[in-house]
Amino acid sequence: MVEILASRPRDVRSLPELFFVISGEHPTLPLGELTAVLEASATQFAIKTDAFKYVEVNTQSDVAFEVGKRSGYTDEAGVHVFTCEPTLDGIGRAVNETGLSEFLSKEESFNIRVARYGGVTKEISRVGLEAILGDRIARETSAKVNLTSPDKRFRGIFTGSSFHLGIIEYQRPKASIANRRPRKRPSFHPSTMVPKLARSMVNLSQPRPGDLFLDPFCGVGGILLEACLIGCSGVGMDALPRMVRGTRRNLAHFGLASLGLVEGDARKLPFREVGAIATDPPYGTGASTLKSTTRKILDEFLPQARSILAIGRRLVVASPLGTAASQSADDSGFKVLDRHLVYVHRSLTREILVLGAV
């Protein structure tokens, strides 16, 4: 088990425990995003990871729903009940030793579903265990089983070394991402980021309540859309009028509006101060519209961005791998805090840099 302790003034391991099921579609972004959201949302926390998709967190007990809902790569979130060895005997002992009535009253209904993550034994039947645990929970608490619309939803999770039981507080609606796919929007551009990646970039920039969030290369608004959906006060900017119009149409399609949309050159930012920036500057044929290369765009844009960000605030930027964006960042007064590589197709791998103003 890998443990990541936040730098906080007291022993956070004594705080209540939550669980998160994160997406397995990228090796680093889901946990990086979850960590960034927790840093922005919770005063004290410690992260423990036990499997590729399963994460336990000691933190304030009321943040599971909000953190899960905000994150792009989090599929489920809830209250952790117990962890034990992944055997029937171990699970039985854990049920006996856990005061389940603290989590479920006899007036409430419940159901339970079991999932497997990682290389785990299949000797224990998932469906059979659901029946056994459902019976044990009902006997321990006198609560009733309701398979379709329960008051509480228990989640059992097998990982490579353990079995975990929790109660789901947040579960991502299956249609939420599909309905926001770029081709589902009235204005489409082939370079637009998919919603999960765009949402994670916003979260990695850690906008705070009341902050002005900026995407200075907004295109048709993929990143700005995700920022507005989580309640950011967002401003978008692009050099091309048709892109600005496309952003406005896309935001309106989802019943959203930004604080402002500006037609202008991001290498000459017309802002005094913003709280967070996340952006995907043009490259390839897109960069040629500015009569420049991606590296030169970054060399000219990043000093401008640094001038409107306070020390410690973040800028998240995407660029093609090999652009040497980290060198541009160092030269412009930023420190590279994190880095993620995202394969797009044979000729493009995006490098996502999380930059802190220093």
pLDDT digits (tens, 9 = 90+) for 135-177: 999 999 999 999 999 999 999 999 978 999 999 999 999 888 9
pLDDT above 90: percentage of residues in the chain: 82
pTM above 0.85, yes or no: yes
Band the pLDDT of 9: cuts 50, 70, 90.
Answer: very low
For residue 121, what pLDDT is reported?
A: 65
Cα→Cα distances 233→177, 197, 236, 245, 259, Å:
21, 19, 10, 19, 6
> For 115-153, b where at least 16 C-beta lie within 10 A, e where not — what string?
ebbbebeeebeeeebbebbbebbbeebebeeeeeebebb
Domains identified in the chain and CATH numbers: 2-172 (3.30.2130.30), 177-357 (3.40.50.150)
Chain mean position to CA 324: 26
Using DSSP bridges, classify how beta strands 212-215 and 276-279 pair: parallel, antiparallel or unpaired: parallel
Q: Encoding tokens for residue 34?
A: 């979850």
Q: What is the full DSSP assignment across 230-250?
A: TT-EEEEEES-HHHHHHHHHH
Maximum distance among all Cα pairs of the chain, rounded to whole angstroms: 71
In the numeric block, the tokens 């306070």 are attached to 310
> Where do the H-state alpha helices sit in the chain?
29-41, 64-70, 88-97, 126-141, 174-178, 195-204, 222-229, 241-253, 285-288, 294-307, 325-331
For residue 175, what pLDDT is reported?
A: 86
